Amino acid sequence: MPTLNIIQAVNDALRQEMRRDPTVVILGEDVGKFGGVFRASQGLQEEFGKDRVIDTPLAESGVIGTAVGMALYGLRPVPEIQFADFIFPAMDQIVSEVAKFRYRSGGQYTCPMVIRTPYGGGIRGGHYHSQSPEAHFIHTAGLKVVVPSNPHDAKGLLTSAIRDPDPVLFFEPKRMYRAARGEVPDGEVVVPIGKARVTREGRHVTLIAWGAMWHEADQAAREAADLGIECEVLDLRTLQPLDIDAIVESVQKTGRAVVVHEAPRTCGFGAEISALIQERCFLHLEAPVARVTGFDTPFPYTLESEYLPRAPRILKAVREVMAF
């Protein structure tokens, strides 16, 4: 079984789905001849041609608007937004059009597309190349939001997203693009959307994370084990629809929960998860739900390591909920 990084896994999924389904097309800034700024689409234009791997102007609203037309006419577009920070010019297209077609047509039309975009910190990109805007889209009915943490899930979830009849926002943790490596089977890999995965069993504290922050949560769990604290680590993988059953099952077992994300704290998705845990697990909780997050500031250039919720901050929260 080959060992791939996330970039290679994404490229593999795109290539296999384009071979399987001639309606799958890719479009975005520099995705063709250049292969994308991170090389996720490298080699695809050479194999499938310029009609299916399309270099677009530097206009995110135009990229998504074009993809809307493609989707409504029977294609399955996979538009790329070069950095998640650049998705905001396309917000009206995504929130007001893409997310609404099934509802506004009474179920007669769907708008199948996968909007791929790298998100988050870790490359010292500063405030215009490091944001985590997932909560904006989780808040919008009609969109699915997926965030893989590893190569296997990147390939399997992207395959499922491309085949899904509804629009999917596919956030890729660029900090882990080449840092995360793992075995990925050749051929078809399908990971269902909407299913979290327990990656480490434990009985004292549940750590809930996704994307790049899963790696920090996993490291914190390993360090906690040296202190005699057994953490259960839950990789959400899909944020919308959320696998609330997996969260409830884990928190009812451990009685404690720490939610980790690198987006700012206020109105981040951790607040929603904390509320859901309180509603469903109140009588099982041994301590308040803790959040370890980014700060309510623009993402900094020089203080990136302080901004990101790394393993030491997570471990501190673990010790606090254990001591409550």
The CATH number given to whatever domain includes residue 165 is 3.40.50.970
- What per-residue confidence (pLDDT) applies to 1? 85
| Domain-located, residue 188 | no
Could you give the number of structural domains in the chain?
2
User: Considering the domain boundaries, does residue 210 fall inside one?
Assistant: yes
Range of the domain at 8: 3-183
Distance separating alpha carbons of residues 118 and 308, to the nearest angstrom: 16
Distance CA 219, CA 197 (A): 17
Q: What is the mean pLDDT of residues 286-301?
A: 96
Torsions phi, psi of 78, nearest 5? -125, 80
What Å distances lie between residue 206 and 140, 224, 248, 309, CA to CA?
27, 12, 10, 16
Q: Are residues 202 and 121 in the same domain?
A: no
In a domain, residue 140? The reply is: yes
Task: Name the region of 179 (left: φ>0; alpha: ψ -120 to 50; beta: rest).
Answer: alpha
CA-to-CA distance for 176 and 58, rounded, in angstroms? 26
Catalytic residue among 129, 136, 152, 215: 129
Contacts of 70 (CB under 8 A, 6+ apart): 25, 27, 77, 113
Band of pLDDT at residue 124, cut at 50, 70 and 90: confident
Residues 174, 211, single domain; the answer is no
pLDDT, one tens digit per residue, over 267-287 is 999 999 999 999 999 999 999
Give domain status of residue 191, yes or no: no
Active site residue 136: no
Please tell me the predicted confidence (pLDDT) of residue 234.
98
* Residue 12 burial by Cβ neighbours in a 10 Å radius (0-12, 13-18, 19+): buried
315 and 252 housed in the same domain: yes
Same domain for 83 and 114, yes or no, is yes
In the listed set 183, 214, 229, which residue is the last one of a domain according to the structure? 183
How does pLDDT run across 50-93, given as a tens digit for each residue?
999 999 999 999 999 999 999 999 999 999 999 999 999 999 99
Question: Does residue 146 sit within a domain?
Answer: yes
> Is the Cα dihedral 121, 123, 126, 129 positive or negative?
negative
Residues 256 and 140 in one domain: no
Same domain flag for 30 and 123: yes
Same domain, 104 and 16: yes
* Same domain, residue pair 69 and 179: yes
Which CATH number is 291's domain given? Answer: 3.40.50.920
Question: Cα–Cα distance between 291 and 295 in angstroms, integer?
Answer: 11
- The answer to whether residues 7 and 126 belong to one domain is yes
Give tens-digit pLDDT for 179-235.
Answer: 999 999 999 999 999 999 999 999 999 999 999 999 999 999 999 999 999 999 999
Residue 75 within any structural domain of the chain: yes
Please indicate, yes or no, if residue 108 is contained in any of the structural domains: yes
**Domain identity same for 12 and 63:** yes
- Any residues with CB less than 8 A from the CB of 106 and at least 6 apart, and which? none
Please check whether residue 129 lies inside any domain of the structure.
yes
Do residues 319 and 223 share a domain?
A: yes
Q: What is the pLDDT of residue 302?
A: 86
Report pLDDT for 123: 86
Same domain? 179 vs 42: yes
